[in-house]
Structure formats: C-alpha cells, structure tokens
C-alpha cells in the first residue's frame, strides 16, 4: 500500500524549532544598545577614532545579529531535518503513529464507483486503526465502558459524507465489564459523494479530525488530523482490493428469506432467527446501550432451521421496546437485525 | 369455606407485603441496583477510617460517584474543577456525596487511605467522604461499570438516577461547557418534587478496575 504509507510531519515540531532562536534574538539588542562603557570612552577621542570605534561597534553588533540569525537558521534546519527523518514528506495520504495505535486515512476511488449519471462520483474514505497487541478501540455502542472513535470530516465544497460504516465488532473482557470493540486491524468506511466534472472528477483535499480512546487495562485518549488528496495515487486495482477487504467486514442487511423476532419474557429477550439451517454459534451486539446486559452470557439454542439466543435485559431498561436492533454475528458473518419484540403472554413476566 | 380462603389469601398477601417491605428497607443485596427501586444498602469505610452506612442517610439525597484518579474521563472532570464544583454545590444543599474507589490493589486508581487524602487535598475536592472499596464489593453491588459512573438516591432510599455524569461521553475538558449534567438535573428536579427527566443513561468512561 504505497499510497497509504506516507506520513504528514507534525506541525508542532516546526513551531518549537523556530520559536526558540527568536526568543534569544531579542536579548542582544538591549545588551548591545547604547552600551554605557563604549559611549563614555568615546567621549574624549578624536573624530576619526570615534568614527572607527562606531564602525567597529556596528560591525560587532551586526556580527552578533548574524550569529543569532545563523543559529536560528541552524535550529530551524535541525527541526526540519528531524521532522523529515521521522516523517517523510507527504502528499497523498496520512498516517499517525500514536501511543498503542496507528491510524491511517485512505481515499479509495474504484472503477466500480465511477461517475454517476448525475455527474457525481462516489469515493470511499477509510480510517484504518491498528491497535498494538493487547490494546483495543471501540464499536459505535462501546458496551460497558470506553468510547467510540469520533471523526469530523473536512471536505471540498459541495462534497457530502455519508454515515460511518463499522465492521462487525468483538466481545471484549469478562463480567462484570464486557465491551464491544476491535483488538485487531480494522477500517471505518464512509462513502463520499464528490462533485463531478466541474472539479475534474473526484479531485480534492480531504481531511479528518479523529479522536479516539484506546485501552488495554488502562485507557489513553488520542487525537490527530489526517489529510489525503483524491484521487489517491496508486493502482485502482490495489485500492479496490483494500476496499473490498474492508467492505467484507461490514455487517450485511439480513437476507430477505430470514425471519427474526424477539420474545420479551420479563427478564430476558429471546431472539429467534430463522436462517434455514441449524446454527450453533452466534453473538448479538445491541445497537442501543442500556437494553441488554452486556456482561451476561448469551445462551444459544440450536434450532432445526436457525437458532434462539437468550439475552438478559438491562437493569437500565425502564420502558417496553418495540424493536430490538443490532448486529448478529452468525457463521462468522455479521447481519443487521431489526427484530420486533413481543411481550410473552400468560408467562410470569414482570408486569 | 369461601371466607377462610379469602382470609388465608389476605394473610398470604399481608405476609408477602411485609417481606417485600422488609427487603426494600434492607435494600436486599441480592437485588441489582435498579432505578425506581430501593438502593442496595451497604456499609463501607472512608479514607479516614470512618464507616458509612447508607441507611444512616435516609432522609437525605445521596450521590455515589465511582472514581479512578488515573482514568482520562475522571481526570477530565477533576482537572477542570467540574467534579469539585458539583461536590461543593450539592453538599452545600445537604446532599451526601460519596466518592467510591473500587480499583483493586495493583490496578489503576487503587489508593491507600493517605494517598486518597493527599489527592483530595491537592484537588480541593470535598465530597462528604471517599469510600475505599478495593475488594470491589460495593462496586459489584451497584454494578458500577465505569469511572465516572453516577448514582442518585432520594431521601426515601430509592435509586432515582444511574449512568453518565453528562451527555458528552468524551475525555475532553472542552466538552464540559454546555454539557447537560444529568446528576444536577436529577437532584434539581427531585428536590422540586418533579420526576427525573432522564433516569437512566449509559455511563461513559474507563472500566472500573475490579480485581479478578
């Protein structure tokens, strides 16, 4: 991924480097101003001597100023060199190595998303998060603790970003605290409608201000501004491959032939999904917090044509719900589920 | 016959009610902390070695604040002075504010009594008390998930709010300004005899660092 592995130098390195010499620069001016000893000595001398001394004084003053200028330049040069050494200059993509987490912004224009009939074009922006081993970031519903990454896009005028699309998460941790997140390489995707021919296809500079929480046993906050220009260089085939990989990890809409419903027993939501075959492994990720107890184990019952999953209702759920929404991972794939909730009648429900 | 059945029914109902009332008064510890129900009772020591019994605070509002001084979300509210301000404001109005530390020894946020007292002095934090719960017993009783995780109990001992401190689930101090503070809202409404507008929210922050 040549087009993704470039780095934008951190701007504060430059600021620090250039501020320091400037501070020093101010001091000699007062020290070498109307220097008292010089002035007093010069009083008794002849005009030529006075002129010579004045020239010498000026020369020293100028030399000193030059010395400071040189020093300033040297320091600035060092700062640039250091920045360049740690971060080669970038043009097309952005990458940040933060503590315990690498973040990359990618722009993917693929043949498939070519210019539409209305002259607009869809490009995909990807934010790739690579947590260090043992660290994780969070899903949009982070579960019992943590916080999802937040993204603010800066797009060329007339461009519009769609919703963030999240890959299927994992259950992290053990009772009493279970979170939903990602402990491996993952990519958030956003489709962007770019202005068409007037701007020469999908050419423009795109930036993302990203804030995240990365945790292992403890949590750290991080933020970065990444930018990338589109169309991204590199082969379309390569971009297509990366995009296809990321898209494959997004949950799909539930197949039309499937059926899902929820029975509210008072203390549990019993989610039944008919898939057409016996299922023995499934995990449900609730869309909305405070509906399902995150730390409760999800007991599965395999059915001839699907499965039944018992989800303990959250203590925080005060009102009855019409629909239980979330992502169901089944057979290694994720599906968006919107299951109508029925109150169990004649049961020993709470009320 | 009919009368005796009725009588027996009355007795059974009466007995059940008494048991229920007793359970509610005790805040039966087998029941989870749930809004609208009796807050589970507890006794826990504070950083000065004094023991606090929830039942002793009947007649007053009680706030429980789960705390971890190393958690960025907790630090957001302490280093900005927001939490200290809330503690001062509400304890001045007669509220019992109990900061609870459930970090296990060796985990982030675990403090000895003297470390906690130093911290309180340094931050100029004035909760009614800072309860030390290294076993996590109190945390698990309330099913505290995060720091900060906030609970508000009314003078009748009923839990009226659980969840986040405010509606900005970030660790950024800049988000405090203009945030809707759920704890203040619950206390303000309840003191005015009004229902709490948002009785449950998802608590945000770091996980409570329970022992294994």
Nearest to B204 among A147, A211, A218 (CB): A147
Reduce the secondary structure of A35-75 to three states and give it as a string: CHHHHHHHCCCCHHHHHHHHHHHHHHHHHHHHHHHHHHHHH
Probe site for chain A from B76, B108, B145, B175 (most A CB atoms < 10 A): B145
| pTM of the entire predicted model | 0.76
Residue B49 has pLDDT above 60, yes or no: yes
Nearest to B202 among A215, A221, A290 (CB): A290
Q: Who contacts B88 (Cβ-Cβ below 8 Å, separation ≥6)?
A: B126
Provide residues of B within 8 Å CB-CB of chain A.
Answer: 32-36, 70-73, 107-108, 140, 143, 145-146, 162-163, 169-172, 199-210
pLDDT in tens, B6-43: 555 555 545 555 444 444 444 444 567 899 999 999 99
E strand or H helix at A337: strand A333-343
- Please state the rounded mean pLDDT for residues A325-350: 85
- What is the per-residue pLDDT for A3? 42
> Which residue did the predictor score with more confidence, A230 or A328?
A328
- CB distance B172–A290 less than 8 Å? no
- What is the per-residue pLDDT for A22? 33
How many angstroms away from the CA of B72 is the closest CA of chain A?
7
Grade residue A328 by pLDDT with cuts at 50, 70 and 90: very high
- What is the per-residue pLDDT for B97? 98
- CB distance A144–B207 less than 8 Å? yes
Grade residue A238 by pLDDT with cuts at 50, 70 and 90: confident
Which residues of chain B does A179 touch, with a Cβ-Cβ cutoff of 8 Å?
207
- What is the per-residue pLDDT for A8? 37
- Please state the rounded mean pLDDT for residues A40-49: 49
- What is the per-residue pLDDT for A154? 94
Nearest to A147 among B162, B170, B199 (CB): B170
Ranked by mean pLDDT, the top range of A154-163, A316-325, B46-55 is: B46-55
pLDDT in tens, A101-140: 999 999 887 655 555 556 667 889 999 999 999 999 999 9
Probe site for chain A from B195, B206, B211 (most A CB atoms < 10 A): B206
- CB distance B209–A290 less than 8 Å? no
Which residues of chain A does B146 touch, with a Cβ-Cβ cutoff of 8 Å?
144-145
3-class state of residue A334 by DSSP:
strand
Please state which of the ranges A42-46, A107-111, A165-169, B121-125 shows the lowest mean pLDDT.
A42-46
How many angstroms away from the CA of A143 is the closest CA of chain B?
9
pLDDT in tens, A266-281: 999 999 999 999 999 9
- What is the per-residue pLDDT for A351? 41
Nearest to B206 among A219, A290, A316 (CB): A219
Which residues of chain B does A213 touch, with a Cβ-Cβ cutoff of 8 Å?
72, 171
Q: Which residue, A276, A254, A248, A258, is CA-closest to A327?
A: A254
Residue A198 has pLDDT above 60, yes or no: no
Cis omega before residue A184 (within 30°)?
A: no
| Contact by Cβ (8 Å): A316, B198 | no
- What is the per-residue pLDDT for A79? 52
- Please state the rounded mean pLDDT for residues A79-89: 43
Q: Mean pLDDT over all residues of chain B?
A: 90
- What is the per-residue pLDDT for A235? 72
- What is the per-residue pLDDT for B79? 98
> Which residue did the predictor score with more confidence, A5 or A290?
A290
| Contact by Cβ (8 Å): A303, A293 | no
| Contact by Cβ (8 Å): A121, A196 | yes
Compute the half-sphere exposure of residue B109: CA atoms within 13 Å on the CB side of its CA. Answer: 34
- What is the per-residue pLDDT for A123? 86
- What is the per-residue pLDDT for A33? 32
- What is the per-residue pLDDT for A204? 81
- What is the per-residue pLDDT for B142? 97
Q: Who contacts A121 (Cβ-Cβ below 8 Å, separation ≥6)?
A: A109, A113, A114, A115, A193, A194, A195, A196, A201, A202
Residue A67 has pLDDT above 50, yes or no: yes
**Alpha carbon distance B138, B136 (integer Å):** 6
**Alpha carbon distance A62, B41 (integer Å):** 79
**Length of chain A measured in residues:** 351
A340 CB burial (10 A radius; 0-12, 13-18, 19+): exposed
Grade residue A86 by pLDDT with cuts at 50, 70 and 90: very low
- Please state the rounded mean pLDDT for residues B156-175: 97
Q: Which residue has the tokens 């805040």?
A: B27
């Amino acid at each position: 991924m040549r087009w993704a592995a470039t780095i934008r130098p951190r701007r504060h390195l430059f600021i620090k480097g250039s501020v320091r010499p400037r501070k020093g620069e101010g001091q000699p001016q007062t020290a070498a101003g109307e220097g008292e000893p010089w002035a007093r000595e010069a009083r008794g001398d002849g005009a030529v001597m006075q002129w010579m001394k004045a020239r010498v004084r000026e020369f020293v003053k100028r030399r000193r100023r030059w010395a400071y200028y040189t020093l300033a330049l040297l320091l600035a040069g060092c700062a640039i060199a250091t920045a360049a050494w740690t971060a080669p200059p970038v043009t097309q993509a952005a990458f940040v190595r933060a503590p315990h987490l690498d973040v990359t912004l990618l722009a993917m224009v693929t043949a498939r998303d070519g210019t539409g009939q209305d002259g607009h074009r869809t490009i995909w922006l990807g934010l790739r998060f690579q947590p260090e081993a043992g660290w994780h970031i969070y899903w949009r519903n982070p579960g019992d603790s943590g916080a999802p990454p937040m993204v603010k896009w800066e797009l060329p005028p007339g461009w519009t970003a769609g919703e963030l699309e999240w890959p299927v998460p994992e259950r992290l941790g053990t009772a009493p605290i279970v979170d939903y997140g990602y402990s491996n390489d993952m990519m958030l995707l956003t489709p962007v409608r770019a202005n068409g021919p007037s701007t020469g296809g999908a050419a423009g500079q795109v930036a993302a201000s990203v804030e995240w929480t990365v945790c292992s046993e403890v949590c750290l906050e991080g933020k970065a501004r990444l930018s990338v220009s589109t169309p991204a260089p590199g082969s379309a085939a390569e971009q297509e491959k990366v995009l296809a990989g990321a898209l494959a990890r997004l949950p799909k809409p539930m197949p039309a032939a499937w059926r899902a419903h929820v029975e509210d027993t008072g203390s549990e939501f019993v989610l039944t999904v008919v898939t057409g075959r016996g299922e023995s492994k499934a995990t449900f990720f609730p869309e909305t917090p405070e509906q399902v107890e995150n730390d409760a184990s999800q007991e599965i019952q395999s059915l001839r044509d699907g499965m039944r999953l018992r989800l303990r209702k959250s203590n925080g759920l005060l009102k009855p719900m019409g629909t239980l929404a979330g992502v169901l991972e089944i057979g290694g794939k994720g599906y968006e589920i919107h299951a109508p909730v029925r109150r169990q009648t004649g049961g020993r429900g709470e009320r | 016959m009919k009368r005796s059945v009725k009588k027996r029914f009355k007795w059974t109902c009466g007995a059940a009610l008494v048991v229920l009332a007793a359970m509610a008064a005790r805040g039966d510890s087998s029941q989870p902390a749930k809004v609208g129900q009796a807050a589970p009772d507890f006794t826990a020591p504070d950083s000065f070695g004094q023991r606090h019994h929830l039942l002793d605070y009947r007649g007053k509002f009680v706030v429980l604040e789960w705390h971890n001084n190393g958690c960025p979300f907790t630090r957001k509210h302490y280093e900005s002075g927001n939490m200290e301000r809330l503690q001062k404001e509400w304890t001045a109005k007669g509220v019992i504010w109990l900061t609870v530390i459930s970090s296990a020894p060796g985990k982030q946020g675990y403090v000895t009594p003297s470390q906690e007292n130093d911290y309180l002095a340094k931050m100029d934090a004035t909760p009614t008390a800072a309860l030390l719960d290294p076993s996590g017993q109190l945390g698990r009783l309330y099913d505290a998930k995060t720091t900060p995780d906030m609970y508000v109990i009314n003078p009748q001992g009923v839990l009226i709010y659980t969840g986040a401190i405010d509606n900005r689930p970030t660790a950024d101090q800049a988000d405090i300004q203009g945030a809707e503070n759920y704890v203040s809202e619950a206390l303000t409404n309840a003191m005015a005899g009004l229902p709490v507008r948002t009785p449950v929210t998802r608590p945000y922050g770091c996980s409570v660092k329970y022992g294994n």
